[in-house]
Amino acid sequence: MTDFKFNEDNLQKINGILTKYPVKKPAVMPVLYLAQEQNGFISNDVIKEVADLLEMTPEEVLGVVTFYTMYHQKEMGKYHIQVCTNVSCMLRGGYDLYDKVKEKLGIDNMQVTEDKVFSLEEVECMGSCGTAPMIAVNEDYYENLTKEKVVEILDSLKNKN
Amino acid sequence: MEKIVLPDIKDIHQIEVYLQNGGFTAIKKALSQTPDDIIDQVKKSGLRGRGGAAFSAGLKWSFMPKTTDKPKYLCINGDESEPGSFKDRQIFEFNPHQLIEGILIASYAIGAKVTYIYIRGEYHKWIKLMQKALDDAYAKGFAGNRMKETFGTDFSCDIYIHKGAGAYICGEESSLMNSIEGKRGYPRVKPPFPAQFGLWGCPTTINNIETITNVPAIINKGWEWFSKIGEPRHPGTILYGLSGHVNNPGIYELPSGTLLTDLIYKYGGGVPGNKKILCVIPGGSSMPPLRGDKIEGVKMDAESLKTVGSAIGTGGVMVMDEDTDLVRVLARITKFYYHESCGQCTPCREGTGWMLKILNRIVRGEGSKSDIDLLISVANNIEGNTICALGEAAAWPVKYMVQRFRDYFEARVKDTVELPVANKVHSMRHTAIPVAEIKH
C-alpha cells in the first residue's frame, strides 16, 4: 500500500476549513471526512498524513477515528446501508427491515458483500422518528418504509451498479 | 395559535421570503440596545432551553463574563441524537434564517464574535441546507464582517458549521466543545462551567437550536408577549415530536402545557387500531416513562411533567400501544446507552452493559425475580455517580420503567434462578442483593 496523500482539490478544501478555527487541531474531524471520501476508509497511512498536516500525533488522530462511528477503518460497500432499529423505528417495524436487508444481502452487521457493492450497519436513532421506519444509503435517508419498499431500493441500487 | 419557530409561511427558508416577512429586523432592533438589555428581555420572557435541561436562556447568557481579554464563543447544539427527537432538522430545513438571526442576537448579547453550529454527522442533507442558508446570509451581508456595513455598527459575527460524526454523547455541552476542539467527545468535569472555561479555555455559551430560533420573536414582539404563551413557568411554544404507535406521527408546534392526550389523540390522530396505550415516554428515550393509564390530564411542560415524575427533555413523545413488548423496548433503550457511553466513568461504562445483559436475559425468558431488583440496584448505582448526565439518561428509563411496570416485568420472570444461568453470569451474581435487603 502506498502512502496516502490528499489530492489538490482536497488540499484546497482543507485550507478553507483551517480558517474556521483559531488552531489546527479542530480541523481533524472535517479533514478525516475528506480523507475517507478520497481513500474509501481511514487507513493507517491516512492517520499519519492527517496527523502530519494538523500537527497532531497519530495516536490523537486514531483516538478521534475510533471514538466516532462514522469513520470506518475498513473498506465498506459502495452502498453503505444503515438501518435504524432504535425505539421509534422498532415500534414501526425497524427490525423487520433490518432482518429483510440481512436476508437479502446475505451479510450481518458491519459486513460487506463479496462484490463490495453493499455493506450493512445497524445504526442508532437517525432522527427519523416521525417518519419511521427508515434506512439510509450512504448520505441519503429513505423514510416511511415497508419491507417491500426496502427490497425495491436494494434492487434498484443493484441494477444501477 | 400562532407558531413561532416553524411558521406556516411558504418558502420561509429562502432568504428573500424571510426578509419579506420581517426577517433580520430583530437583530437590527437588538443592535440599537445594549447587550445587557437583550439579556434582560430574554430572562424576563421566561425562555427555557429546549435541549433537555430547560434552563433559563437569559440566565445562562448572564453567566458570561463582562470583562475578559479572551475571545468569547457561542455554540449551537444541533447534535439531536436522543431517540424520539427530530425537531432541529425541521428548523434547518424550514426556517434556517430565523435560527441565524437568533444566533446573531445571542452573539451580540454575550459578546461572541464566532459561533459554531454543531450538527450531527448523519444529517448530511440538513447540513447542506443550513450551509446554503448561511451562504445566502453572508452574501446579503447579514453575517460575517459585512454585517458592520449592513447594520452600521461595530458588531459582527462569523457562523460556522461543525459536523459531528456519530456520537450521541456530543450533545452533552462539554463533550460538544471537546468535539469541536478536535478531540474525543469526552464530557468534562464541571466546574469550571463553560461560561468560565469553554472552547479553548475561553468563555462559551451553548444553546439548543430550538431555543435560539425563538429569540428573534422575543426581541420583535416583546418579552411580555412571549411570557404569556402556554404554561407561565415554561412559556412559549414547544416542538413536540410525536412517534411510535400514533396515526399521524410528526412535529407539532404547540403552546407549552398542551395536554399529552390532546397531542396523541387530537393532533396525532390516536393509536392505530384504536388500541389502548401501554406506555408513553414524554421527552425522548432518557426520560422516565409514564403508564398509559396515568396520562389523563398530564400537561406537557417542564414543571407539570415534574409533578408526575417525568421530564420534558427534548419533547420527543414516544407512544407504545398495549401489544408492545416493553421488556424488549427497555432492552433496546439500554443497548443504545451502552453503545453511546463514552467509557470515562466506571458506573456508566460497566453499569449500562450489566443492565443490558440482565434485560436480554429477561427478553429470552431466562430472567428471575431477583433480576428485577438487581436492575433497579444497578440503575441506582449509576445515577449521580458519573461526570455527565448520560448516567441518568441510562438509569432513569430502567429504574422508572421497572418500578412503574413492576407487574408487567414480574410476569416475565421466574421465581427462582436457574443454575446454568447463574453460572453463566456468576461474576454479576456477586453484586446481587437479596430482595429483602433492598430498600427504596
Instruction: Evaluate whether residue A152 is within a structural domain.
Output: yes
Amino acid identity of residue B51, one-letter, is G
A1 in any annotated domain: no
pLDDT of res. B1: 72
Q: What's the grid cell of residue A142?
A: 429513505
pLDDT above 70: percentage of residues in chain B: 95
Which of A70, A124, A132 is facing B121, going by the closest CB pair?
Answer: A70
Residue A72 lies in a domain: no
Residue A24 located in a structural domain: yes
Mutation target to probe the A interface, by most A beta carbons within 10 A, among B87, B183, B242, B321 is B183
The pTM (predicted TM-score) of the whole model is: 0.95
Tell if the CB–CB gap between B182 and A68 is shorter than 8 Å: no
- A63 with A87, same domain? no
Contact between chains at A130 and B249 (C-beta distance less than 8 A):
yes
Q: Which of B71, B179, B332 sits opposite A87 (nearest CB)?
A: B332
In this complex, do A128 and B86 lie within 8 Å of one another by their Cβ atoms?
yes
Q: What is the pLDDT of residues B333-380, one digit of tens each?
A: 999 999 999 999 999 999 999 999 999 999 999 999 999 999 999 999
Question: Which residue among A26, A47, A67 closes a domain?
Answer: A67
Fill in the DSSP letter of residue B305: H
Q: How far from A86 is each of A21, A72, B258, B312, CA to CA, in Å?
A: 35, 21, 26, 20
Kindly report the number of other CB atoms within 10 A of residue A65's CB atom.
23
Q: Using CA atoms, how far apart are residues B415 and B66, in angstroms rounded to an integer?
A: 63
What's the pLDDT at A161?
A: 84
Q: What residues of chain A, 68 to 87, have a C-beta less than 8 Å from chain B?
A: 68-71, 85-87
For residue A25, the chain B residues in CB contact (below 8 A) are: 181-183
Residue B314 is classified by DSSP as: T
Domains annotated on chain B, with CATH = 15-227 (3.40.50.11540), 237-321 (3.10.20.600), 328-437 (1.20.1440.230)
Domain containing A16 equals 8-67
Co-location of A35 and A84 in the same domain? no
Residues A50, A18, single domain; the answer is yes
Say yes or no: A26 and A85 in one domain.
Answer: no
Cell of B239: 416542538
Of A41, A66, A34, A50, nearest to B343 (Cα)?
A66
CA distance B260 to chain A (A): 17
- Burial environment of residue B297 by CB neighbours within 10 A (0 to 12, 13 to 18, 19 or more): exposed
Distance from CA of A45 to the nearest CA of B (A): 19
Predicted pLDDT at B434: 46
A104 shares a domain with A58:
no
| Phi, then psi, of B271 in degrees rounded to 5 | -95, 135
Give me the CATH number covering residue A109.
3.40.30.10
Name the minimum distance, in Å, from the CA of B343 to any CA of chain A: 10
Classified as helix, coil or strand, A44 is: helix
Q: Which residue of A has its CA nearest to B331?
A: A87
Cross-chain Cβ contact B184/A132 below 8 Å: no
Q: Are residues A152 and A87 in the same domain?
A: yes
Task: Verify that A100 and A136 share a domain, yes or no.
Answer: yes
Q: Cα-Cα-Cα-Cα dihedral of B169, B171, B177, B181, to 10°?
A: 60
Counted domains in chain A: 2
Cβ-Cβ contacts under 8 Å for A121 (sequence gap 6 or more)? A80, A81, A82, A83, A109, A110
Domain boundary among A28, A44, A67: A67
What residue type is B427 in one-letter code? S
pLDDT of residue B424: 52
Q: Nearest 5°: CA angle at B278, between B272 and B282?
A: 90
Whether residue A2 is contained in a domain is answered as no
Whether residues A89 and A41 fall in one domain:
no
Looking at the structure, tell me whether residues A93 and A156 fall in a common domain.
yes
Nearest Cβ partner for B182 among A29, A33, A85: A29
**Chain CA centroid to CA B255, Å:** 18
Final residue of a domain: which of A20, A38, A67?
Answer: A67
Residue A73 lies in a domain: no
440 residues of chain B, pLDDT tens digit each: 789 999 999 999 999 999 999 999 999 999 999 999 999 999 999 999 999 999 999 999 999 999 999 999 999 999 999 999 999 999 999 999 999 999 999 999 999 999 999 999 999 999 999 999 999 999 999 999 999 999 999 999 999 999 999 999 999 999 999 999 999 999 999 999 999 999 999 999 999 999 999 999 999 999 999 999 999 999 999 999 999 999 999 999 999 999 999 999 999 999 999 999 999 999 999 999 999 999 999 999 999 999 999 999 999 999 999 999 999 999 999 999 999 999 999 999 999 999 999 999 999 999 999 999 999 999 999 999 999 999 999 999 999 999 999 999 999 998 877 655 555 554 454 454 444 544 44
Residue B415, pLDDT score = 85
Going by C-beta distance under 8 Å and a sequence separation of 6 or more, which residues neighbour residue B139?
Answer: none
Average pLDDT, chain B: 95
What pLDDT sits at residue B246?
98
| Domain shared by A98 and A27, yes or no | no
Asked if B6 and B96 touch (Cβ cutoff 8 Å), the reply is no
* Residue in the block written with cell 408546534: B253
In terms of domains, do A15 and A58 share one? Answer: yes
Question: DSSP strand E in B305-423: where?
Answer: 316-321
User: Do A120 and A155 fall within a single domain?
Assistant: yes
How far is CA B132 from each of CA A18, B100, B317, rounded to the nearest angstrom? 20, 12, 31
- Residue type (1 letter), A35: A
Specify whether the CB–CB gap between A108 and A83 falls below 8 A. no
Q: Please provide residue B361's backbone torsions phi and psi, each rounded to the nearest 5 degrees.
A: -65, -40
CATH code assigned at A58: 1.10.10.1590
Closest residue to B251, CB basis, from A88, A92, A130: A130
SS3 content of chain B, % helix, strand, coil (to 5): 45, 15, 40
Amino acid in the structure at residue B381:
N
> Å from B425 to nearest chain A CA?
26
For residue B66, with 0-12 CB atoms within 10 Å meaning exposed, 13-18 middle and 19 or more buried, which class applies?
exposed
Which residues of chain A have a pLDDT value below 50?
A: 1
In-domain check, residue A56: yes
Closest residue by Cα to residue B50 from B207, B173, B282 = B207
Neighbouring CB atoms inside 10 A of B200's CB total: 17
Total residue count of chain B as it appears in this document: 440
Whether A49 is in a domain gets the answer yes
- In chain A, whose CA is at the least distance from the CA of B85? A127
